[in-house]
A and B are shown apart, each in its own frame.
Chain A
Amino acid sequence: MNVNLYPIKEFRLPVVAECINPDVFRGKSIKEIEVLKVWEGNKQKKLSELFKVEAEKAEGSQGDPVITIHGDVSRVRRIGVGMKAGEIIVKGNAGMHLGEEMRGGKITVYGNVLGWVGSMMKGGVIEIHGNTGDYLGAPYRGSTEGMKGGRIVVYGNVGREAGAHMRKGIIKIYGSAGQFVGFRMKGGTIYVQKDCEARAGACMVDGTIIVGGRIESVLPTFTIEGLRKKVKVEEGEVVEAPFYLFIGDLTENGRGKLFVAKEPNPHLSRYEKFL
């Protein structure tokens, strides 16, 4: 089943639409989808009051639903929260908490997304062909239950604290990242292809962070372990360039690995005398 959603208007108030989720849409007729409840500001409304809903039955109608949103939904929060299967495609920008606690399926966004993408994710795939805000894959404030699986790929830049408290899974950022990448990380892999602001891996205990561009500075609580000729990001993706390997964060007795490319970081050459 394919469902197309067209925003009727430009949203001015925040919309909370947890119901935009393949698990919710599965087995429902177009009429049933139209009356699903969403919040706009402090008013509860029907989905059809905000979106034009079109559905077409694919040939093998047994498959998981594919939801396509055509238009800008950057004010719409909590799309695909907790989804287990199926697919969501957003042709436009999307709002906060996209794919929070996701367990399976796929979300693709051809645009920018605000914060908390894939927060507390446990499985599935999120692909963003644009920039994202802060707390990519990070848990809600105060919680230590970070990302436990799945993969997030961002082709643009990300904000701060990407992958905080991460335990498993992979985050690949083909742009630059803000401060505190992999804050309090316990496992998994974060790859930043371009530049990275300071304090990467603060308080990390385990896991891997790979920075392919310039990093502002490495925390003093990281110690240099060696120089590597290449780094494997994941099965089938290897970066062939010299990398410094740092171990930390020593304030937490951590054994996390922080790889930083040598070439774009001449200011780190002073570490070489310790090798």
Chain B
Amino acid sequence: MSPRKTTTRSFLSHEDILRERLPVEIEEPERFDRWFEPLRRKVTIAVLNLHREVTAVLEDERKLLGAEEGSVRRAWQMSGADAVSLLKSAESVRSKLARSLKESEKSKPWAGRLSLDQVERKLLEFPDLGRFRIECDFSSDVQRVRRVLLGRHKRLLLNRFAVRNFKDYASDLALRHPARGHRALQFSVLTPADGSEIQVEVQLMTLLQQVWDQRNHPLYEWSRDGGLLPMPLTLRDVALAETLHLVDEQADRHWREFLALRRRKIPK
């Protein structure tokens, strides 16, 4: 098979790209799944380890917060990025791989099929094979959790695990794409698991943003994969997302005002 022109190849579907670039033995989805399973199991170990470490630290922090506020509240909870699973699905991994291959062909011409090792290396570069969310009551809780986990420098999680790709989608204007996704802080953590280093993505956001993302995710995926949304729909959706951000900010203010009020009323 001879290389085609990049311009023509940009119209290829994900499945077409994968059929051309993956090793023959894993080009079919089911075979890919089987081949991917051992790596997937390493991801489960990595994400579980990290989840447990973070949980333990945040449990202590929750007690501290309770003592400071004089209140008992959950403050934050952890969940899978799609509400249940802490792993990227095999289908999602394939789709992301196709996007990544397509993207890389823009700078480097088509170079035939990859080897199994090359595919594995590519997958290990993914920042979110495993991932979990920490959903907080208020924006200030998000910042508190960030400080507890990453400190000031955002290079190490819990002073041990290397942090990559820290992104502040909540307030970094350069990263805000109004029509896409929630306002979150996210980063990946290089986590050792049985001889490999797996990147586990951690997302910090408010509960409101989490709910928004659950509702809005299909629209995000649609536009991410090049789908077009009518302008009025996009505008209204952006307005909704931004309104939720304001609601979060205001609710945080109210909560802090309330705490201050209560501190004044309750004699020590």
Are A and B bound to each other? no
B residues with CB within 8 A of A: none
Tell me the A residues contacting B by CB distance below 8 Å: none
